[in-house]
Amino acid sequence: MKEDLNPFVISQLQFDRAADHLKLDAGLRNVLRRPKRSLIVSIPVRMDDGSVHVFEGYRVQHNIARGPAKGGIRYHPNVSLDEVKALAAWMAWKTAVVNIPFGGGKGGVICDTRKMSRSELERMTRRFFFEILPIIGPDRDIPAPDMYTNAQTMAWMMDTYSMTVGYSSLGVVTGKPVSLGGSEGRNEATARGCLFTIQEACRVKRMPLKGAKVAIQGFGNAGSIAARLLHQVGAKIIAVSDTRGGVVNPRGLDPIKAIRHKERSGSVVGLPGTSRIRNEELLELKCEILVPAALENVITAQNAANIKARIIAEAANGPVTPMADEILTRKGVFLLPDILANAGGVTVSYFEWVQDLQSFFWEEHEVNAKLEKVMKRAFREVHETSLKYRVHMRTAASILAIGRVADATIVRGLFP
């Protein structure tokens, strides 16, 4: 049977599995399984050569029953409305897994940032944000960075919003530079949260993290910092990769050197002391822990049987398909699902938003300590749910999250 790799179809399939366990009634299911609001915008931008290019962008709010929508904005040539809809749904479940008072949203623009100048990027970012402004705001929907967007992108968005409303609004986006109301620890938060869940998984599986071999696909914000933090606690990073390919050294490589090499040359490929491998080969390496930290659908029915890792921590959103999930479960792989494993980012985004609203900022050790508490509690609750319902960790995380959103929806009642 051929697998449907449409991310929105996949997110609905995952939803249905959890809804069956929760025995949600048909009406509530229909409310929760589709986005509340989807906005499609055209973004005309004057390019450096004087021509005008019209980009297409999206902002989707999946559910706001538990609080304002929250979720990143992605710039990538393959962005589609269905991808953004799936990512928005995952955000709604993610904020509920870690039990922070947000709903779920996501945005994206179809573009290739590697072919754009900084000023073109700034003009596109500002016009995109202006176009989605009617549904954005610190009490409505608070964007954050995702693939190929960063703290600078967030600063332009914050400025665009502030110029429009006539005052400086710090709480409208998170993942901002620390000099502009950003939070200490936000840049590392996704990877740090992922580390905490890996530590808990190792405890449950009685597997030492010290000396464990780790392979990481994707070497951006999530992947490169995960490599650094895992290395710091004694794990052995044996392989890393980016769009241009991967590098491997079974005896371990130094992530700091890999980060410097990528800064200089644009890729991890060519890192001294390593051999080159393809991205697909990296996933199948003999290792204890595999961290997909790039794109969706990289572990599918095609390659799941070849995976040798004992723990998979999904730093990326949607890297494993439902058919692959079943194969991995049969193989005994312990999978930390995206809505748990990468929830550290949105958790510290929540801390950033709280600090912005109070204009009172915390030190990094406070942020990290609070993050650790949230992530370890979420892991415990997901693990307990998995034992109670006898399901794998992904379905357990969905049951926990969708149950919370369903409760909020029921108690609020149907308007009008």
The rounded distance, in Å, linking the Cα atoms of 171 and 137 is 8
DSSP character for 33? T
Asked if residue 219 binds ligand NAD (CB under 6 A), the reply is: yes
CA triple 364-365-369, angle to 5 deg: 120
Instruction: Mark the segment that binds ligand NAD (CB under 6 A) among 32-40, 288-296, 385-393, 398-406.
Output: 288-296
Rounded to 5°, the CA angle 221-223-224 comes to: 75
Q: Using CB under 6 A as the criterion, what x/- string covers residues 264-283 for binding ligand NAD?
A: ---------------x----
Q: What is the DSSP letter of 56?
A: E
Q: To the nearest 10°, report the CA torsion of 161, 165, 167, 169.
A: -40
The residue of the chain with the least Cβ separation from ligand NAD equals 220
- Is the CB of 146 or the CB of 200 nearer to ligand NAD? 146
Told to judge if 106 belongs to the known catalytic residues of this protein, a careful annotator would answer: yes
Q: Determine, following the binding rule CB under 6 A, whether residue 11 of this chain makes contact with ligand NAD.
A: no
Give the DSSP H/E element, type plus range, for residue 95: helix 81-97
| Least distance CB 87 / ligand NAD (angstroms) | 7
Residue 300 parent element (H or E): none
Residue 220 touches ligand NAD, criterion: CB under 6 A: yes
Helix (H) or strand (E) holding 237: strand 236-242
Residues 124-163, one symbol each (x = binds ligand NAD by CB under 6 A, - = not), give ---------------------xxxx---------------
Q: Does 218 bind ligand NAD (CB under 6 A)?
A: yes
Minimum separation from the CB atom of position 169 to ligand NAD (A): 21
Which residue, 197 or 279, has its beta carbon nearer to ligand NAD?
Answer: 279
Q: Which stretch binds ligand NAD (CB under 6 A): 162-170, 217-225, 351-359, 402-410?
A: 217-225
Question: One of 106, 176, 213, 236 is an active-site residue; which one?
Answer: 106
The burial of 232, by beta-carbon neighbours within 10 Å (0-12 exposed, 13-18 middle, 19 or more buried), is given as exposed
CA-derived radius of gyration, the chain: 20
Judged by CB under 6 A, which stretch of 247-255, 290-298, 325-333, 389-397 contacts ligand NAD? 290-298
230 binds ligand NAD (CB under 6 A): no
Structure tokens at 66: 């538990």
Inter-residue contact 343 to 378 (CB < 8 Å): yes
174 or 395, CB closer to ligand NAD? 174
- Using the rule CB under 6 A, is 242 a contact of ligand NAD? yes
Task: In whole angstroms, give the CA distance from residue 377 to residue 374.
Answer: 5
Establish if 95 lies at the interface with ligand NAD (CB under 6 A).
no
* Of 53-61, 216-224, 325-333, 362-370: span binding ligand NAD (CB under 6 A): 216-224
| Smallest gap from residue 278 Cβ to ligand NAD (A) | 9
The reply on whether position 108 binds ligand NAD by CB under 6 A is no
CB atoms within 10 A of CB 158: 25
Task: Give the number of residues in contact with ligand NAD, rule: CB under 6 A.
Answer: 24
Among residues 11, 160, 241, 395, the one that binds ligand NAD under rule CB under 6 A: 241
Contact 255, 227 (CB under 8 A): yes
Residue 183 within binding range of ligand NAD, rule CB under 6 A: no
Distance of closest approach, residue 245 Cβ to ligand NAD, in angstroms: 8
Q: How near is the Cβ of 307 to ligand NAD at its closest, in Å?
A: 16
- How far is Cα 189 from Cα 118, in angstroms, rounded to an integer? 26
What whole-number distance in Å separates Cα of residue 159 and Cα of residue 151?
Answer: 12
Whole-number Å distance between alpha carbons of 44 and 77 = 16
> Applying CB under 6 A, which of residues 61, 63, 217, 368 lies at the interface with ligand NAD?
217
Which residues on neighbouring strands pair with residue 215, listed in sequence order? 239, 290
For residues 237 and 121, what is the distance between their CA atoms, to the nearest angstrom?
34
Torsion region of 169: left, alpha or beta (phi above 0 gives left; psi -120 to 50 gives alpha): beta
Interface with ligand NAD (CB under 6 A): 145-148, 190, 217-223, 241-243, 279, 293-295, 315-317, 342, 345
Active-site residue numbers? Answer: 106
